[in-house]
Structure 1
């Protein structure tokens, strides 16, 4: 959320205020890992260095604590949280918060680049620091080096400093910190100092309102006894549940109930656990790990290989700066994201562009049996829209479509496998970064494909052409619906075959 801060401060403070159901869920998870009674009658000491209106302290109202304090840099916002312990202050730099003096640190820190969110005075104070930081060693030119770093990383470091050894951190963090490759060093830095106990992908509705759509995870961490050691202790729970058509309060309540069932030993779809040590050098987002698990969903008797072993040529569509493609009646077909449907390509209304023009380079020409994959977009890649080109006439592709030419494997089999749960799970896990789904060449090549016999693969192609293609090309509402049903049935049959449940 954008707010107006004190004079000299950037107008954007990167705030995303926490909804009440999310705050309640956060505290349910903290209570699930902490002892019900603290030693020697001790009461909780809780801190929130990015308190906003005090949403994460409000669930403590009526709970016995020695201290519950929140700091908020915006005086107008802080005033609204005064009743739950919010004071005006800079949570990153305020010295009234004593290091290692709290049992629990909670925070939904501002998301964004440091250069957009920090004032001149804050940079000066940060520049006087000495020693290692989540961003690296501070020096005279730190501002230039760290200007593009995400500020939320510094708040994680702050929270780790505030809690005592064995204390807990419950942090709402943007997906980028957990998923982006450039944040790997920060994730490993955290892992040296804390043990992840739970990583929950928050529903997309959590921070969605006009002008705002931030995707985030709740991360529950326990500060370790020593820095730089291996992750210790119990497994880390990973939660990525489908955002069913429920309101946020109902969604969070459902996730909480399902988590408790999973802890009790029940298998719950969308909830799994891993050894925290596996997080080193890897992504942390729950969807990634659920996708990794999908590779174990076919029979151990079936060997697999990376798709890259069969890629003869992989390219993307033309990117022409300052030029939009225009329709040319007698031009060549340009296959774009909107031409993909759930059962294949539909090109009757496809754009045609000038032959050999800027939007028809030879390198991205499409031939019959090429596998085509939209490489971005919630409506295409995000819905697993893939297809095999069936026409003898050459075509080309738009800038957001990748052409994959395969050798030694049936492209129809690869297509349909990527629509199965193990295949789609891998694609979702490969989505790089946050926001609009994207997949790059390296991630495409890394997809693991179970190796069925050539005869089995050809059978998949024949089944598609006999059962689905005639319905797909009709383009009537009734046949389109029937094609979807048949396609789903064929995918299910392939899944059963891969799991050894079908001969």
Structure 2
């Protein structure tokens, strides 16, 4: 780190503007160094929030340890936040650093591995403001290629917040090579900032939401004052090919006071980019919502992502007219299909219309679960005893199937009751829910209702695609309707919806035999729309019964 900062101070060459760098000739992708360059809207939001939360910072000593094209650094100079001799950057990619940073009128940048320099004493705890949009993901930022000596050095230099307590020296190098780089950068930024200084970072939403990072969140909330967490639009890094939902994290390097409150909010869409002069004086961009929670609230350890705290979720639960019980109280089996790495399902030599079909197992993947039921027409069929089949993942009539990830499945609330007699099992991205004491048709309808959808939307999280964990499924609150009311929903489904679903399934199979495109068939579309309309009417009546 000391060498990197010295190199940054000594750099002397031709000045380069931010606009010139953004239109560089060589396209750089996220595959190069797990890069996802920072759009100016996100940079301006960060600096606007810095002004709003911390007030004017008198020429702060500023560093970006993963500076990329220098968006944070150049914008700080354009806004008059600091002077070139007090703005530093570190970048691993030598070509990028050479193109982006030039000379006397700009910030200083060095080519170095910032993560590998944490143990160096110079530079630590000396910066007033640390800004970063670091690489993210397991094994990124060069971790995957780290040798055993480098991996051991990382274990010595970092607290490794995401790992359980114990000796860091006992962690195998393979575990360190797959460690999330964004968590190391959080530690690095907090090591660089002076006591009372500020850290502003863009990190994946999963760091604030995923259950596997709860240990890291607990340590962060216990040691550092978290001032704000702002959700950024999903489109933020679309131009660079990164699909992950991200958040802006603002912290102050001091222990939190018992009364400190965390600001949580979300930006749904970016306004047009403003010029540097306007950005320097404009207030923070409008937020879709903003709430505050005490940092001492233990629920922040479970979920620090702003979307979880969107107003209205708790009020909807409170408006329910029936007592609520965790879904886990009714689950006797919750599983998903075997994960077979490096191989595709080996389809058996039999289709759904042949006699041999009964000697194979149909795999219910996300595409087989529709709004009104399960359609096995295009399900892959694998041999009995293959690695894609297990006793636990084998479906029984009456099991609920829930695709647990993806905007097109979980995001559209596809959930159904399996009713086929033919052998079938769930794939690795579909959950099997077997119930006791709760009608499966009622559960399927409830998960499509306003109260059910809101809960699933609230807990769904992930990097790139939304997903829901077993624990989150078990914690869903289900209204305890009387058994006769639950049975009435099943009767309505079997009488009004199931016949249409089966007609649609038969039509789908007939189209497949003739190699026709089912997406272009008006009869199939009409059958599906009729089923969705009738099932939707039942769900609408359930909404009225639950919420009035």
Choose from 400, 419, 427 the match for 1:399. 427
Which residue of structure 2 aligns with residue 274 of structure 1?
293
For residues 185 and 371 of structure 2, the distance between their equivalents in structure 1, rounded to whole angstroms, comes to 43
Query: Is 2:261–2:292's contact at 8 Å kept on the other side of the alignment?
Result: no
The Cα shift of 1:386 comes to 0.8
Q: 1:236 aligns to what SS in structure 2?
A: strand
Which residue of structure 1 aligns with residue 136 of structure 2?
111
Equivalent residues in 2 for 1:73-152, closer than 5 Å: 73-79=92-98, 80-82=100-102, 84-90=106-112, 91-92=114-115, 93=117, 98-112=123-137, 113=139, 115-116=143-144, 129=157, 134=161, 144=173, 146-152=176-182
Q: 1:76 aligns to what SS in structure 2?
A: helix
Aligned residues between the structures: 466
Query: Is 1:13–1:117's contact at 8 Å kept on the other side of the alignment?
Result: no
Query: Is 1:52–1:81's contact at 8 Å kept on the other side of the alignment?
Result: no
The Cα shift of 1:107 comes to 0.3
Which residue of structure 2 aligns with residue 72 of structure 1?
91
- The one-character-per-residue Cα deviations of 1:246-270 (angstroms, maximum 9, x if unpaired) are 89969xx9xx6542xx6xxxxx4xx
- The one-character-per-residue Cα deviations of 1:53-97 (angstroms, maximum 9, x if unpaired) are 111123321414253332324343223134541411544438697
Query: Is 2:334–2:433's contact at 8 Å kept on the other side of the alignment?
Result: yes
- The one-character-per-residue Cα deviations of 1:36-57 (angstroms, maximum 9, x if unpaired) are x45xxx3344321211111112
Check if 1:386 corresponds to 2:386.
no
Long gaps (5+) in structure 1: 1-10, 263-267
Which residue of structure 1 aligns with residue 23 of structure 2?
none
Check if 1:494 corresponds to 2:542.
yes
Q: 1:172 aligns to what SS in structure 2?
A: strand
Long gaps (5+) in structure 2: 1-30, 505-522
Which residue of structure 2 aligns with residue 198 of structure 1?
228
The Cα shift of 1:104 comes to 2.5
TM-score where L is the length of structure 1: 0.77
Query: Is 1:378–1:436's contact at 8 Å kept on the other side of the alignment?
Result: yes
Query: Is 2:393–2:426's contact at 8 Å kept on the other side of the alignment?
Result: no
For residues 534 and 327 of structure 2, the distance between their equivalents in structure 1, rounded to whole angstroms, comes to 26
For residues 470 and 486 of structure 1, the distance between their equivalents in structure 2, rounded to whole angstroms, comes to 11
Structure 1 residues 325 and 437, CA gap change in structure 2 (3 angstroms): farther
Structure 1 residues 407 and 140, CA gap change in structure 2 (3 angstroms): closer
For residues 48 and 410 of structure 2, the distance between their equivalents in structure 1, rounded to whole angstroms, comes to 35
Q: 1:409 aligns to what SS in structure 2?
A: coil
- The one-character-per-residue Cα deviations of 1:404-461 (angstroms, maximum 9, x if unpaired) are 2222112111111112343234334544653454444444333221212223323333
Query: Is 1:339–1:347's contact at 8 Å kept on the other side of the alignment?
Result: yes
Choose from 40, 58, 72 the match for 1:20. 40
For residues 444 and 417 of structure 1, the distance between their equivalents in structure 2, rounded to whole angstroms, comes to 13
For residues 216 and 416 of structure 2, the distance between their equivalents in structure 1, rounded to whole angstroms, comes to 38
For residues 111 and 471 of structure 1, the distance between their equivalents in structure 2, rounded to whole angstroms, comes to 46
The Cα shift of 1:18 comes to 1.1
Which residue of structure 2 aligns with residue 57 of structure 1?
73
For residues 375 and 350 of structure 1, the distance between their equivalents in structure 2, rounded to whole angstroms, comes to 18
Equivalent residues in 2 for 1:178-257, closer than 5 Å: 178-209=208-239, 212-224=242-254, 226=255, 232-239=259-266, 241=268, 257=285
Which residue of structure 2 aligns with residue 316 of structure 1?
336
Query: Is 2:328–2:473's contact at 8 Å kept on the other side of the alignment?
Result: yes
Equivalent residues in 2 for 1:256-335, closer than 5 Å: 257-259=285-287, 268=289, 272-278=291-297, 279=299, 281-290=301-310, 293=313, 296-299=316-319, 301-317=321-337, 324-326=346-348, 327-328=350-351, 329-330=354-355, 331-332=357-358, 334=362, 335=364
TM-score where L is the length of structure 2: 0.71
Q: 2:72 aligns to what SS in structure 1?
A: coil
**RMSD of Structure 2 on Structure 1 (CA):** 4.0
Which residue of structure 1 aligns with residue 489 of structure 2?
460
For residues 404 and 354 of structure 1, the distance between their equivalents in structure 2, rounded to whole angstroms, comes to 23
Structure 1 residues 302 and 118, CA gap change in structure 2 (3 angstroms): same
For residues 250 and 481 of structure 2, the distance between their equivalents in structure 1, rounded to whole angstroms, comes to 41
Which residue of structure 2 aligns with residue 4 of structure 1?
none
The Cα shift of 1:108 comes to 0.7
Which residue of structure 2 aligns with residue 416 of structure 1?
445
Query: Is 1:69–1:85's contact at 8 Å kept on the other side of the alignment?
Result: yes
The Cα shift of 1:117 comes to 6.0
